[in-house]
């Protein structure tokens, strides 16, 4: 039996990936899949479905899809800090819209998404009925992200040769395919399991269909940069699918991001993590910006743009959770952090847990000692930030963030599930769709709860501008900012740290250079 290298046929591009020769058919097989020359070998569809689920962890990391979806926007920036965090300028390129096809995060996101499409296809061709319906949903979700980011999507027809170049859907064709797939399987998907939204479910399908219909005017536009036409019938579809979701809001916003967030009724679909097991990537949501001396210690990298932070009321609970148990464990609030940082429990001013003799510190309450940076200066995070920073502000420039509450019992491989879809997003999609011409009525009781849990006075958003503002506050760092900015016509505009209007080509990311070995793929305009 001859082994077919998954990496070679992965990505549907017949390209060289990770240094594997495109003529070598005897490399190590991934995921336990072995096929003979005729494709009649053994396929472990259960194992492949597990792999397709585990591929969702790619959204938890600070790079790939998260970087493309958030760092390209007005919210998140990755400044170069002296000799750290330059990485060939890849982070700064994303924020300033100066990327090119060789940006490695653009390539890695493309590879990550399409490798999971490949796993899903193997399950669809070889699995049981239940496995197939789950794989079709997961494939639709991965394809949605390909459509959104890249504007075209490679595909293989069932039974086609792995040696042939994949065919390619246009953005309009891919959108129609994904919608048709979801509509075909939605009746066979199970109800959401209470306490575990990581299993494909009917509510997740309704959510994804709502997201597709809401963005259909963008995806079907003749020019990716617009203008966009939002058909009333599509907007009514958004309303219909949101109304079909059987969900409710969590009482506390932070219930969606705590270590035991699987219990939140608001999370519609998630990537599951198990304490001490897989899922270490989600720690990036507190480590990527936190300082080395903080508790938990961080990587002192990414920051929130002040212009974005200033859209919030400083007392908004969504960006400042100072519950006592959090202060007792970590010394500082979770959310956005600005100003003087404090010690964690039994830590000194440099974040150390032992004295010079090696004895553990005890009886030092968290939040009672002012932290210092590595040079002994006060660790005071400031809103002022430049793309390249150094000197006295090297370690302190920029507002830092924690979207998820660190798992105190295991900060390296925590239990927090990663929320991919939330009901609050669905409610805001519905409100936007109604304002764009859809037929329906907002649930004012649910919206009142959405507003009241922020801990600041507010009103139900009744204009598109208000919806846009609220989405930016409610869904910060959840991977939707770029998508929202494009739909609302804000993405190319000048802003802090990008004081110019971007060229229209930056609405889409380029097709990675290696992928263009597939002659059916064409580079996106302008690249």
Question: Is the CB of residue 467 less than 8 Å from the CB of residue 458?
Answer: no
Q: What percent of the chain has pLDDT over 70?
A: 92
Q: Which of 162 and 493 is assigned the larger pLDDT?
A: 493
Q: Which of 153-167, 356-370, 497-511 has the lowest mean pLDDT?
A: 153-167
Q: Which of 10 and 65 is assigned the larger pLDDT?
A: 65
| pLDDT, position 15 | 35
Per DSSP, the three-state class of 318 is: coil
Question: Is the CB of residue 189 less than 8 Å from the CB of residue 200?
Answer: yes
Task: Give dist(CA 138, CA 116) in Å, integer.
Answer: 8
pLDDT for residue 276 is more than 90: no
Q: Per-residue pLDDT tens for 23-68? A: 222 222 222 233 333 344 567 999 999 999 999 999 999 999 999 9
| pLDDT, position 42 | 67
| pLDDT, position 457 | 83
Task: Give dist(CA 157, CA 289) in Å, integer.
Answer: 44
Q: Per-residue pLDDT tens for 14-25? A: 332 322 222 222
Residue environment code for 270-308, b if the CB has 16+ CB neighbours within 10 A, otherwise e: bbbbeeeeebbbbbbbbbbbbbebbbbbbbbbbbbbbeb
| pLDDT, position 399 | 98
Domains located in the chain, CATH noted: 1-76+97-174+504-527 (1.25.40.390)
Per DSSP, the three-state class of 451 is: helix
Query: Mean pLDDT of all residues in the chain?
Result: 91
| pLDDT, position 23 | 24
Task: Give dist(CA 247, CA 423) in Å, integer.
Answer: 7
pLDDT for residue 152 is more than 50: yes
Confidence of residue 8 (pLDDT cuts 50, 70, 90): very low
Nearest CA-CA partner of 440 in 451, 452, 459, 426: 426
Q: What is the pTM of this model?
A: 0.92
Q: Which of 2-11, 205-214, 215-224, 430-439 has the lowest mean pLDDT?
A: 2-11
Q: Mean per-residue pLDDT for 218-241?
A: 98
Q: Per-residue pLDDT tens for 402-457? A: 999 999 989 999 999 999 999 999 999 999 999 999 999 999 999 999 999 999 98
CA 96 vs CA 69, 76, 469: distances in Å: 13, 11, 22
Task: Give dist(CA 121, CA 136) in Å, integer.
Answer: 8
| pLDDT, position 41 | 55
Residue corresponding to tokens 């210690």: 297
| pLDDT, position 460 | 81
Structure tokens given for 82:
């002296």
3-state helix, strand, coil in the chain (%, to 5): 40, 10, 50
């Amino acid at each position: 039996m001859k082994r077919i290298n998954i990496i070679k046929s992965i990505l549907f591009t017949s390209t060289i990936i990770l240094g594997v020769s495109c003529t070598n058919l005897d490399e190590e097989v991934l995921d336990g899949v072995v096929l003979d020359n005729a494709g009649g070998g053994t396929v472990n569809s259960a194992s492949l479905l597990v792999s397709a689920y585990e591929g969702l962890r790619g959204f938890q990391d600070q790079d790939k899809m998260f970087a493309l979806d958030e760092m390209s926007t007005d919210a998140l920036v990755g400044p170069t800090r002296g000799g750290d965090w330059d990485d060939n300028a890849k982070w700064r390129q994303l924020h300033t819209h100066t990327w090119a096809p060789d940006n490695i995060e653009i390539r890695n996101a493309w590879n990550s998404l399409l490798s999971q499409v490949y796993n899903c296809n193997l399950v669809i061709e070889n699995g049981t009925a239940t496995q197939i319906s789950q794989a079709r949903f997961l494939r639709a979700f991965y394809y949605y992200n390909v459509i959104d980011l890249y504007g075209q999507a490679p595909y293989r027809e069932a039974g086609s040769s792995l040696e042939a170049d994949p065919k390619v859907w246009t953005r309009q064709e891919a959108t129609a395919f994904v919608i048709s797939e979801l509509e075909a399987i939605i009746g066979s998907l199970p109800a959401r399991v209470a306490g575990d939204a990581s299993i494909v479910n009917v509510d997740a399908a309704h959510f994804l269909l709502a997201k597709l219909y809401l963005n259909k005017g963008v995806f079907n536009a003749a020019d990716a940069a617009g203008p966009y036409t939002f058909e009333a019938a599509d907007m009514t579809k958004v309303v219909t699918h949101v109304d079909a979701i059987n969900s409710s809001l969590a009482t506390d916003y932070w219930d969606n991001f705590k270590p035991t967030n699987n219990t939140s009724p608001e999370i519609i679909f998630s990537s599951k993590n198990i304490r001490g097991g897989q899922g270490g990537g989600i720690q990036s949501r507190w480590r990527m910006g936190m300082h080395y001396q903080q508790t938990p210690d961080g990587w002192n990298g990414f920051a929130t743009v002040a212009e974005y932070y200033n859209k919030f009321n400083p007392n908004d609970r969504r960006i400042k959770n100072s519950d006592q148990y959090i202060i007792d464990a970590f010394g500082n609030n979770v959310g956005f952090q600005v100003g003087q940082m404090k010690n964690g429990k039994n830590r000194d001013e440099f974040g150390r847990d032992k004295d010079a003799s090696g004895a553990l510190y005890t009886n030092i309450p968290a939040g009672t000692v002012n932290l210092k940076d590595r040079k002994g200066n006060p660790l005071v995070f400031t809103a002022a930030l430049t793309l390249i920073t150094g000197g006295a502000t090297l370690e302190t420039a920029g507002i830092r963030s924690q979207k998820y509450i660190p798992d105190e019992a295991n900060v390296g491989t925590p239990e927090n599930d990663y929320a991919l879809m939330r009901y609050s997003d669905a409610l805001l999609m519905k409100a936007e769709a109604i304002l764009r011409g859809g037929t329906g009525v907002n649930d004012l009781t649910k919206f009142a709860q959405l507003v009241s849990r922020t801990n600041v006075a507010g009103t139900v958003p009744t204009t598109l501008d208000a919806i846009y503002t609220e989405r930016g506050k409610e869904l910060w760092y959840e991977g939707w900012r770029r998508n929202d900015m494009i739909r609302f016509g804000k993405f190319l505009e000048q802003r802090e740290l990008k004081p110019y209007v971007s060229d229209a080509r930056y609405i889409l990311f380029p097709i990675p250079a290696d992928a263009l070995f597939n002659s059916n793929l064409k580079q996106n305009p302008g690249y």
